[in-house]
């Protein structure tokens, strides 16, 4: 009887210690309560929102993911001290995040977390790292290579990634071309017949999320006819992939007899697609004209700015002004923001470079209301003034350019900048 009593006491002590450690872990690792900077970090925000700059000068920050305790992983476009992934935490809860770990000897853009792994991309490969229960990388020196041998040209080489709920990973493989011309961006250069680029680029490829050393032969061309997709997200409401395409350039410089410089600055639209397996979005054969609200046959393939493109290609679900470079897409599922934001889409626009003679555009984050996986209203500017300039005539004038988006466990929104390497956190402040 005495032995049984002792065992029960030891067991009770064990449970008490476990509960105490759990309490300490929870309250030392939960995300810092949101408190905006007095100037909202220089941003202009939708009514009721505030912002603070939680990190700065960390390198060219591209995509970002936030862990369940509010720590963040960031993929760098260029290596800093030989490393391309940063892990940041706010251990003293002062609202500023400090770099705790730098790892990964490859640059790139894509990064995400799913089912106990951190996934990250270079321009040619996809890696994953095993995480512990706190979503910290267990061994940053030993990633598993799950995809290799992807093509990467001198343009549109970055690989954005997202996972679904069925252990698949989706990879953007951008086209190493503007419009699949015989001479890229050349004067009146015709399009290549059949556009051979499309066999290995210009689309979204689907692979297994847990199989090592996959190549093209292991993957599936999930959707094609997409010039370059930087922003993509999996909508859990309808279990569907959505992407933001970077539209084509050089209409007037390549086809001056058909397009004025003003038309070239305003065409084509940057568009959002809802993708199903087997979809074809039409690049390079068509582009979307937001003024005519039609797919238009590309001049490289016999178009004149008025002839409609084939109906075999899917239509976009949202159209934005030309050349604003959408670099991230995020469907908001948090509870911090007002109800109208629930399940809506945020898009980070990196900003244009080729809208001359018009002023350059973008350099902001926009919101699109959604319901049941479909847009329900017009897009609106949500966060602006990243550039720090009222008007931008060239990208080098922008102080900051939005690039990555992530949702924190409290529902706040994180935004990266890949000029100065700043990271912003946006929260709702009205009660």
Place of tokens 């109906």: 311
d(CA 259, CA 305): 8
The three-class DSSP label of residue 301 is helix
CA dist 373 → 59, 168, 229, 238 (Å): 35, 20, 19, 6
CB 309 within 8 A of CB 282: yes
CATH code of the region 36-109+174-186+227-428: 2.120.10
Q: Name the E strands within 137-285.
A: 144-147, 161-163, 168-173, 203-208, 220-224, 229-235, 240-245, 270-275, 279-280
Of the candidates 148, 60, 135, 51, the one whose C-alpha atom is nearest the C-alpha of residue 100 is 135
* Tokens describing residue 371: 């319901």
Q: What's the pLDDT at 358?
A: 87
| DSSP, res 197 | G
Q: What's the pLDDT at 300?
A: 98
CB 385 within 8 A of CB 356: no
Q: What's the pLDDT at 333?
A: 98
| DSSP, res 385 | -
The three-class DSSP label of residue 36 is coil
Of the candidates 31, 68, 74, the one whose C-alpha atom is nearest the C-alpha of residue 52 is 31
Q: What's the pLDDT at 430?
A: 83
d(CA 362, CA 123): 25
R_g of the chain computed on alpha carbons: 23
Place of tokens 């970002």: 64
Q: What's the pLDDT at 2?
A: 55
d(CA 208, CA 167): 6
| DSSP, res 246 | P
Which pTM value belongs to this model? 0.92
The three-class DSSP label of residue 208 is strand
Of the candidates 386, 249, 247, 222, the one whose C-alpha atom is nearest the C-alpha of residue 318 is 247
Q: What's the pLDDT at 29?
A: 53
Domain map (residue ranges) of the chain? 1-30, 36-109+174-186+227-428
Please state, as a whole number, how many other Cβ atoms lie within 10 Å of the Cβ of residue 134.
11
| DSSP, res 251 | H
Give the DSSP H/E element, type plus range, for residue 7.
helix 2-29
d(CA 120, CA 106): 10
DSSP per-residue codes, 302-346: T--SSSBPPTTSPPPSEEE-TT--EEEEEE---SSS-GGGTT-EE
Mean pLDDT, each 10-residue run in order, the chain (431 residues): 50 44 45 92 96 97 97 97 97 93 97 97 98 97 97 92 96 97 96 96 98 98 98 96 97 97 97 98 98 98 97 98 97 97 98 88 96 96 93 87 98 97 96 68
Report phi then psi at 260, rounded to 5. Answer: -80, 170
């Amino acid at each position: 009887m005495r032995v049984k009593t002792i065992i029960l006491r030891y067991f009770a002590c064990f449970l008490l210690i476990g509960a105490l450690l759990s309490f300490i872990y929870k309250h030392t690792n939960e995300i810092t309560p949101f408190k905006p900077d007095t100037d909202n970090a220089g941003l202009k925000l939708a009514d009721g929102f505030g912002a603070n700059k939680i990190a700065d000068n960390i390198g060219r920050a591209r995509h970002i993911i936030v862990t369940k305790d509010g720590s963040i992983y960031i993929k760098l476009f260029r290596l800093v001290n030989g490393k391309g992934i940063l892990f940041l935490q706010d251990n003293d809860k002062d609202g500023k995040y400090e770099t705790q770990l730098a790892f990964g000897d490859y640059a790139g853009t894509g990064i995400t977390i799913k089912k106990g792994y951190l996934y990250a991309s270079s321009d040619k490969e996809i890696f994953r790292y095993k995480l512990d229960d706190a979503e910290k990388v267990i061994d940053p020196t030993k990633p598993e290579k799950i995809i290799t041998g992807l093509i990467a040209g001198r343009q549109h080489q970055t690989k954005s990634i997202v996972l679904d709920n069925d252990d698949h990973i989706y990879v953007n493989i951008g086209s190493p071309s503007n419009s699949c011309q015989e001479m890229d961006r050349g004067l009146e250069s015709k399009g290549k017949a059949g556009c051979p680029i499309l066999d290995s680029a210009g689309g979204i490829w689907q692979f297994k999320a847990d199989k090592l050393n996959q190549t093209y032969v292991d993957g599936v061309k999930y959707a094609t006819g997409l010039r370059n997709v930087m922003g993509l997200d999996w909508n859990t409401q309808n279990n569907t992939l959505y992407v933001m395409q970077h539209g084509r350039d050089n209409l007037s410089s390549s086809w001056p007899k058909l397009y004025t410089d003003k038309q070239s600055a305003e065409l084509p639209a940057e568009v959002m697609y809802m993708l199903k397996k087997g979809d074809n979005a039409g690049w390079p054969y068509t582009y979307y004209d937001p003024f005519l609200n039609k797919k238009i046959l590309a001049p490289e393939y016999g178009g004149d700015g008025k002839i409609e493109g084939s109906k075999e290609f899917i239509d976009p679900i949202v159209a934005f002004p030309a050349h604003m470079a959408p670099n991230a897409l995020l469907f908001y599922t948090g509870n911090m923001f007002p109800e109208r934001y629930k399940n809506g889409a945020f898009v980070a626009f990196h900003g244009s470079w080729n809208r001359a003679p018009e002023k350059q555009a973008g350099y902001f984050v926009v919101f699109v209301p959604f319901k049941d996986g479909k847009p329900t209203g017009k897009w609106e500017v949500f966060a602006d003034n990243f550039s720090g300039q009222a008007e931008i005539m060239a990208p080098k004038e922008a102080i900051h350019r939005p690039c990555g988006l992530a949702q924190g466990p409290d529902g706040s929104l994180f935004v990266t900048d890949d000029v100065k390497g700043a990271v912003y956190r946006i929260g709702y402040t009205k009660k």
